[in-house]
Amino acid sequence: MFSVFVPSGSSLKKSVVEDLAVLPDNAVWIDLVNPTAAEDKAVERLAGIAIPTREDMQEIEISSRLYLENGARYMTATLMCHSDTDMPRTTAVTFILGDHRLVTVRYDQPKPFAQVEAKLARTCTPAISGEMVLMELLDAVIDRCADILERCGADIDQVSHDIFEPEAERHGHAKQYSQILITIGRKGDLTSKVRESLVSIGRVVTFLSAVVEGVKWSKDMREQLKTMQRDVGSLTDHASYLSNKITFVLDAMLGVVNLEQNNIIKLFSVMAVVLMPPTLIASIYGMNFKVMPELEWVHGYPMALLMMLAAAIVPYWLFKLKKWL
C-alpha cells in the first residue's frame, strides 16, 4: 500500500495516489506498507532514493541498518507488533530521511503509526517536515514501549502475589501453577522483545544525533533527541530489571512446585509407613498353618484388630510429635 501525506493548513492529510508516475511536490511523508515492486520503483524514481528490500531490512549488522546513501539517512529499527495479544512479535521498519521528506517501509502494522497519523491529521505545525514526522513517530514508539513495560510490570507483580499468597487461600494448585508458568513465559518473551526494540531505537536516535554534513537540527529537535536518548536508556534499564524479576519469579515458582511435589511424596511415604505394621499383622494371621493358638481363642479377632489399630496409631503419633506432618 502506498500512502502519501501532504500538509493542509494546520494538519497533515493523507493523499490518495492513483497515478504512480506523479508524486505531490509538498509530500513530507511517504508510507509504504507491504509495497509491491511497482510501488518501490515508483518511489525510487520520484523521491530519488533506493528502497531496501524486505531481506535487506532483516539484516542485523549495524552497517546494514544505519547508513548514509546519496545524501539520505537510512535507519532500520525493530518495533513491537500485536503486544496486546498472546502472540506478540517484532517487525523491522525502515525510516529514510532525505530532502526534508520521510519515507517509511514496513511489512506490519505497529500501533504508533496509526496513532501519529491520527494525531497529525488533527493538528500539526504548518511548516511540518519529514524530520518532524520522524520525531513524532520515534516519540510514539518510545511511549508505546513504556506502556508495554508498565503493563508487563503490573502483570508480573500479580503473578508474584499469586505465588506467595497465604497457604489458606491456595486452591487448584496444579491448574493454577500451570497457568502461572505460562504467564511467566509470555511476560519474559514480551520483555525481551521490548528490550530488543528499545536497543534498536536507541541506535537510531544516536545515529540521528550525529552531526552530518549538510544536515542541521534545530535547537528544539536537539533537545528532543536528548530527551529520547534519556528515555530509551531508562526504559532499557527498566526492561533489564523486569527480566531479572521474571527470572526470580520463575525460580520461586519452580521452588514452590518442588515443595508441593515433596509434600505429596511425603504424604504417600507416611501412609506407607503407617499401614505397614497392620499389613504385617494381617499377613501373619493370614498364613494357613494348622497350629496357631490365637485362631481358636475367643478374643483372638478383637485382639488382632486392636493390634493393627495400635500399630497404625503409634507411627502416626511419632510423625506428629516430630512435626513431620
% the chain with pLDDT above 70: 92
The DSSP output letter for 52 is: P
**Residues 64-71: contacts with CB under 8 Å, at least 24 apart:** 65/200, 65/203, 66/203, 66/204, 66/207, 68/212, 70/98, 71/98, 71/99, 71/214
pTM (2 decimals)?
0.80
Residues 6+ apart with CB under 8 A from 324: 266, 270
Cell of 287: 498364613
Is residue 19's pLDDT more than 70? no
- Does residue 169 or residue 284 have the better pLDDT? 284
pLDDT tens, residue by residue, 155-185:
999 888 888 776 555 555 655 778 888 889 9
Q: For position 215, what pLDDT does the model report?
A: 59
Write down all domains in the chain, each with its CATH number in brackets: 2-260 (3.30.460.20), 266-321 (no CATH)
pLDDT tens, residue by residue, 74-130:
999 999 998 888 889 999 999 998 888 899 999 999 999 999 999 998 888 888 888
Is residue 54's pLDDT more than 80? yes
